[in-house]
Structure 1
């Protein structure tokens, strides 16, 4: 089951949670601004009204799906830097443009992140071909991308199992 850690309770975060609430996953929804969370959320969504972002990143299980879409570029960068310390996530998506990606990549390399690791960041996020920037469109596109990543990982895992069994 996917464990999604979603940073940001803005309009896009709300739209994404509505979709993720219908899928077989657990969602940790993180934002320091408690007043932005709705009174009710789907049963698979856990609200984390905290500014202890580093602890949330560090305590997420291996294979987590991280999504960063906060209201603050500096917070997005701090989260990106923290997530990139890990080497065990299934997905890391960062909301933003190609320009934001280039700026973040340069800053990460200046701070010692190896260039080959930068391919692990998905930015812009969402399945390709959806140009609409409305929150619900982005939410659907990101949810579809998560499902695709999960399916590809399952296929790769199944193929690896078959290879191991065939060579045993």
Structure 2
């Protein structure tokens, strides 16, 4: 049986229907991304995590978002081209998504209930906020300026990957 967060419908950037249930046996890092942000170089670290941990049961899911200073203005095709050409992104991208406000995507409405390491929940603060979803549906939250390869992220990722290896 899957949890409600895993049942929330998602759409890939190329229009296919999916959900986190399709990644039930994996650790997933959900990240709202943008192409024209000072934090955009985090794509490089996200792709490195994907390459380093992918075979162990990890997936980055990028959610392009244009809610922060219009820093993701491109079309789906432009976003895919930018991510591929600039950072060699191989991890899945979802359709452009609203993360805050009345029309926030249902996944983000749920994820924003998660408290960060300072104990704060609430709105996504900026591009590249990260939510690590473990196979047991626990979620850890990392704010935008926390780099994807920060020791706290890696430690949480390694702990979550233990669930994958023990289930295998």
| Band of TM-score, shorter chain | 0.3 to 0.5
- TM-score by length of structure 1 reads 0.40
Higher relative contact order (CA 8 A, sep 6+): 2
Higher share in helix: 1
Q: Which has the larger radius of gyration?
A: 1
- TM-score by length of structure 2 reads 0.40
